[in-house]
Amino acid sequence: MAVVAEHPGVSTLTGTPKDVQSQLSRSHADRVLVVAFDHIKPGVFEVLAENFTNIASSMFEVLLQRQDRESLERLAEVLVPRTPASPRLLKEAAMLVQARKAVLESGDWLTAVEVAQLAGLSPRNPSAQPNKWKKQGLIFAISHNGVDYFPGYGLDRESGFRPLKAMAKVIEAFVGHKDGWGMAYWFRSDNSFLGGKRPQDLLATAPEQVIEAALDEVQEVAHG
């Protein structure tokens, strides 16, 4: 645990909950704001801690003063990152944008309402059943602009557009390894285990092979 920075009227502490609690027991502060992270990389945490410190101290100063142009400019400077994003980060961001764009433009995705229409579900609450399938792990979804989209290739036309049984096995294999977007990338990518074919193209016709490919993917990730 460490004090990131000390400013008049504001101090910022970082560390484990136990470390911070110990320090707070000796603090004479009137008020305390705690921000907890369940899972975060050390490097990311350090950057956030520094930015939170600068934001807190500057906002405190601004609120104590009259909000003139100079104060607002100073606050704006603090809210903007101190240094430009690295070329590596920009490259990764561009790759992520391209990957998501390719997924969304593939035409393979349906809203819960569209799934309900295809499956002939009750029109009263059409999104209820698709969302229930997602919670049960029978199908996955990707979220974009606050809307869930379900993979059309995960539905069985022969069974009234219900989730293909193999989909649940694939999702089960990827639990803790891939989120909805991660599975979307995997399903649409050429897979060497499947002879260069895409998992989404074989899910209905060769489900056992796709399940084995998913298990193989997890094993490769686990062994680095």
pLDDT tens column, 34-71: 777 776 777 677 767 776 776 666 665 655 555 566 66
d(CA 66, CA 43): 36
Between residues 151 and 15, which one has the greater pLDDT?
Answer: 151
CB proximity list for 119: less than 8 A, separation 6 or greater: 129, 155, 160, 161, 162
pLDDT in tens, 205-224: 999 999 999 999 999 876 65
Whether the predicted pLDDT of 7 surpasses 60: no
Lowest-pLDDT range, 10-24, 91-105, 109-123?
10-24
Q: How far apart are CA 196 and CA 222, in angstroms?
A: 22
- Tokens for 110, please give them: 């349906």
CA atoms within 13 A on the CB side of 77: 9
Phi first, then psi, for residue 163 (nearest 5°) are -60, 135
Instruction: Quote the mean pLDDT of the chain.
Output: 84
Ramachandran quadrant class, 180 (left: phi over 0; alpha: psi -120 to 50; beta: rest): alpha
**pLDDT for the residue 1:** 43
CA distance 101 to 46: 31
As given in the structure block, the two tokens for residue 15 are 């560390």
Q: According to the model, what pLDDT value does residue 35 have?
A: 75
CB count in 10 Å sphere of residue 49 = 19
What was the pLDDT predicted at 4?
45
113 against 71, higher pLDDT? 113
Amino acid at residue number 202: L
129 CB-side CA count, 13 A: 17
